[in-house]
């Protein structure tokens, strides 16, 4: 029998209960005796800072992601951005049985960052090192205006969603239902991102359903939540479908290992992180949340594979054909229909039609309300 899941989207979970918060306050007081800066005391356990100092030669570190705005689940990793010379590839490391760290490098020219590129840093907290470099980035954010950054990012993702939904319609008209399924999921992810980022909540892929519910409390159901969830395939999200999607991701990454970013050990660690988070959500009766989270990863990985396939073949990306191209490609670009089915990309016409109808309904509603909302956010 399937374990019962919470209705989606579920209430955000707090990072600490009352007792944990008391213990944390005591620890912070003790850390001050050892000379930690106020920024380090407020957001990070001391052993994590020690690990970063011992392992990386950095001049400035900022904590980003859900740990920086206190919406993290216990399973979530610590995401850091480094402003020091590092290998250009991003790093993912496991430092104990249940703690992961991810380190990303900023572009060297901070002044050239667009509003959309600045969005992930809106909740960044100083974690250690040269505070002047951190202040420089914070000054750029303040100058651009956090509300304008949110508006730019939200509008950009909505434009992406409109383009993807159009491609889904074209694929359906051509009878290419597997490609249509890919574009539906891509468009739905983009719409969800746009909805979340238009408000005060920060977008995090592993917290999408929590954030959508929070935004719905502010907006009301102006974007037809049921239609959006239908497009995400959440009516079929249960422990069995989550297990299939997880196994499909395993097979997808294994089949395209040489295309993944970073050495095999980093790719392996990143996959373990994805599976650990999904497993924690499943054990917490949050299969729909985990299914949605892995759906974002599916789209990201498939998009990367197709881009590299086009580069290898020396061809421009096709207007609509993505999966039908890589399904016939040679290794390591080839992805079988069996794997695509496991990760939730299907070619049954009736199901594809239902999901396409869902994203088009939701997209029409959010587009009709977006410009007024964006105007209000720019001029609070």
On the question of pLDDT at 201 being above 90, the answer is no
Q: Rg of the chain over CA atoms, in angstroms?
A: 21
On the question of pLDDT at 380 being above 80, the answer is no
The answer to whether the beta carbons of residues 186 and 329 sit under 8 Å apart is no
Using CA atoms, how far apart are residues 158 and 315, in angstroms rounded to an integer? 27
The answer to whether the beta carbons of residues 148 and 375 sit under 8 Å apart is no
Task: Point out which residues pair with 63 in neighbouring strands.
Answer: 80, 125
Q: What is the pLDDT, as a whole number, of residue 193?
A: 94
DSSP 75-102: TPPEEEEE-S---SS-EEEEEETTEEEE
The answer to whether the beta carbons of residues 204 and 367 sit under 8 Å apart is no
Q: Helix, strand or coil for residue 175? A: coil
Alpha-helix residue ranges (DSSP H) falling in 67-145: 115-118, 131-144
What's the distance, CA 171 to chain centroid? 26
On the question of pLDDT at 261 being above 90, the answer is no
Using CA atoms, how far apart are residues 37 and 300, in angstroms rounded to an integer? 37
Residue-wise pLDDT for 124-141, tens only, equals 888 777 777 778 888 889
Nearest alpha carbon to residue 168 among 195, 189, 197: 189
Query: Taking the domains of the chain in order of start, what are their residue ranges?
Result: 36-144, 147-378
Nearest alpha carbon to residue 219 among 34, 377, 13, 346: 377
Q: Helix, strand or coil for residue 55? A: helix
Residue-wise pLDDT for 293-344, tens only, equals 999 999 999 999 999 999 999 988 888 999 999 988 998 899 998 999 999 9
- DSSP class of 99: E
The answer to whether the beta carbons of residues 169 and 364 sit under 8 Å apart is no
| Range in 87-91, 207-211, 267-271 the model is least confident about | 87-91
Nearest alpha carbon to residue 91 among 266, 300, 257: 266
Relative to beta strand 125-129, strand 91-96 is: unpaired
Q: What is the pLDDT, as a whole number, of residue 284?
A: 93
Q: What is the pLDDT, as a whole number, of residue 40?
A: 38
Using CA atoms, how far apart are residues 80 and 104, in angstroms rounded to an integer? 6
Per DSSP, which regions of 117-263 are E strands? 125-129
Instruction: Give this prediction's pTM.
Output: 0.81
The answer to whether the beta carbons of residues 211 and 370 sit under 8 Å apart is no
The CATH topology of domain 36-144 is: Beta Polymerase; domain 2 (3.30.460)
Using CA atoms, how far apart are residues 22 and 20, in angstroms rounded to an integer? 5
């Amino acid at each position: 029998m399937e374990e019962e899941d919470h209705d989606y989207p579920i209430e955000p979970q707090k990072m600490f209960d009352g007792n944990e918060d008391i213990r944390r306050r005591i620890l912070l007081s003790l850390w001050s005796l050892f000379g930690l800066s106020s920024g380090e005391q407020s957001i990070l356990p001391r052993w994590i800072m020690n690990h970063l100092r011992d392992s990386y030669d950095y001049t400035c570190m900022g904590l980003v992601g859900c740990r920086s705005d206190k919406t993290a689940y216990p399973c979530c990793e610590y995401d850091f951005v480094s402003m020091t010379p590092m290998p250009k590839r991003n790093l993912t490391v496991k430092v104990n049985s249940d703690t992961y760290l991810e380190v990303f490098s900023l572009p060297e020219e901070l002044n050239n960052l667009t509003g959309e590129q600045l969005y992930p840093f809106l909740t960044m907290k100083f974690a250690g090192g040269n505070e002047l470099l951190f202040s420089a980035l914070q000054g750029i954010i303040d100058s651009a205006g956090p509300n304008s950054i949110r508006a730019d990012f939200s509008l950009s993702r909505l434009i992406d969603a409109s383009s993807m939904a159009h491609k889904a319609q074209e694929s359906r008209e051509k009878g290419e239902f597997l490609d249509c399924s890919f574009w539906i999921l891509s468009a739905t992810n983009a719409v969800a991102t746009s909805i979340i980022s238009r408000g005060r909540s920060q977008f995090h892929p592993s917290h999408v359903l929590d954030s959508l519910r929070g935004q719905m409390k502010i907006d009301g159901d102006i974007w037809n939540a049921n239609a959006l969830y239908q497009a995400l395939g959440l009516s079929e999200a249960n422990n069995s479908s989550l297990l299939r999607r997880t196994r499909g991701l395993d097979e997808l990454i294994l089949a395209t290992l040489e295309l993944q970013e970073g050495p095999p050990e980093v790719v392996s660690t990143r996959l373990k992180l994805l599976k650990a988070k999904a497993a924690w959500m499943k054990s917490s009766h949050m299969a729909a949340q985990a299914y949605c989270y892995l759906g974002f990863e599916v789209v990201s990985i498939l998009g990367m594979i197709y881009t590299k396939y086009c580069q290898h073949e020396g061809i421009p990306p096709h207007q609509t054909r993505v999966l039908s191209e890589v399904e016939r490609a040679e290794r390591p670009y080839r992805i079988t229909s069996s794997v695509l089915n496991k990760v939730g990309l299907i070619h049954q016409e009736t199901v594809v039609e239902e999901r396409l109808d869902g994203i088009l309904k939701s997209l029409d509603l959010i587009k009709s309300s977006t410009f007024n909302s964006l105007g209000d956010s720019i001029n609070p």
